[in-house]
Amino acid sequence: MPTYEYVCTQCQTKFDVYATLAEKEQGLRPECPKCQSQETRQVFASFAMIGGSKGGTDFTMMPGCGPAAGPGCC
Q: Of 51, 49, 52, nearest to 69 (Cα)?
A: 49
- The predicted model scores a pTM of 0.58
Are 32 and 14 within 8 A, CB to CB?
no
Residue-wise pLDDT tens digits, 28-65: 999 999 999 999 999 986 655 565 555 554 445 455 55
Q: Which residue has the higher pLDDT, 34 or 68?
A: 34
Q: Give the whole-angstrom CA distance, residue 10 versus residue 70.
A: 32
Q: Is residue 67 scored above 60 in pLDDT?
A: no
Q: What is the DSSP letter of 72?
A: T
Residue 44 confidence (pLDDT): 85
